[in-house]
Amino acid sequence: MYRFQNKFHYSIFVLTDEGVVVTDPINSIAAGWLRSEIGELTDKPITHLIYSHSHGDHASGGGSFGEVPTVVAQANAPAQIDGVAPTVRIDEPTTIEFGGKTIELTPLGPGHGQDLMAIVVKPENVGFIVDAVAARRLPFRDFPNSNVDDWTDQVRNVEALDFEIFAGGHGPIGAKDDVTQGRIYMEELREQVLAGLKAGKSVDELASSITMDKYSDWGSYDQWRELNVRGMARHLTEIGADKG
């Protein structure tokens, strides 16, 4: 199997004895390039397109792969994803055996979006996990449009899966423990922000005082640390946790 990059986004594809399984197209240019590259590696057709979720920065451009017989998405995905209609919808853990590979698909529940799905490829034992968590990288900005507790539960659901190599939709290749560390970061951030809110501190005060220093070497720390604090404060205020 292979991982490919388009700027700050990553996806994977799997060569099998019977055909090629691709995942998130990212965008039409990236998918068109990848289709050409796959043609240099094998004469087998692209038989499966599996979406991690439907957000446009990962799921655009699927039509550039051509006519793919099997298009897989989580059950809550829209009827079409940038013009491509899923032919298979997953609402529970599902295993696909194809071309000597085992592909395990697990819906992760609500949190970062409503249709996020983990993809584990065996025998390589690689987990392709997008957006819920990234290896040694802070969560995206201020957890936009999300219940952060649900988002943390998505990470816990990833922890429960069986894989060794963590290939994220963002950030470097990691290991299973990087998922755990991502969950711990979110829990520690929640604890500190909640304590500050209950102590009567303003969000501006929390954004400057909660530095999460031990994560300062993680990706996007300088850009997103303050946004993470603000997003967590917004979430805790919305659910009334600061009043408890």
- Residue % of the chain over a pLDDT of 70: 100
Same domain, 90 and 153: no
Same domain, 5 and 72: yes
Same domain, 123 and 147: no
Tell me which residue of 59, 60, 64 sits closest to 32, measured CA to CA: 64
Q: pLDDT tens-digit profile of 23-73?
A: 999 999 999 999 999 999 999 999 999 999 999 999 999 999 999 999 999
The whole domain housing 191 covers: 143-159+176-244
Same domain, 113 and 215: no
Same domain, 126 and 183: no
- Flag whether 22 is in a domain: yes
Same domain, 148 and 100: no
- Flag whether 165 is in a domain: no
Provide the number of structural domains found in the chain.
2
- Flag whether 211 is in a domain: yes
Same domain, 39 and 76: yes
- Flag whether 125 is in a domain: yes
Same domain, 186 and 109: no
Confidence check: pLDDT of 146 > 80: yes
- Flag whether 170 is in a domain: no
Same domain, 26 and 79: yes
**Mean pLDDT value across the chain:** 98
pTM comes to 0.97
Q: pLDDT tens-digit profile of 219-244?
A: 999 999 999 999 999 999 999 999 87
Q: Region 118-131: what's the mean pLDDT?
A: 98
For position 244, what pLDDT does the model report?
74
CB proximity list for 237: less than 8 A, separation 6 or greater: 197
- Flag whether 164 is in a domain: no
Same domain, 147 and 104: no
- Flag whether 233 is in a domain: yes
Confidence check: pLDDT of 74 > 90: yes
Instruction: Indicate which CATH number applies to the domain containing 115.
Output: 3.60.15.10
Same domain, 150 and 106: no
Q: pLDDT tens-digit profile of 185-194?
A: 999 999 999 9
Same domain, 79 and 27: yes
For position 189, what pLDDT does the model report?
98
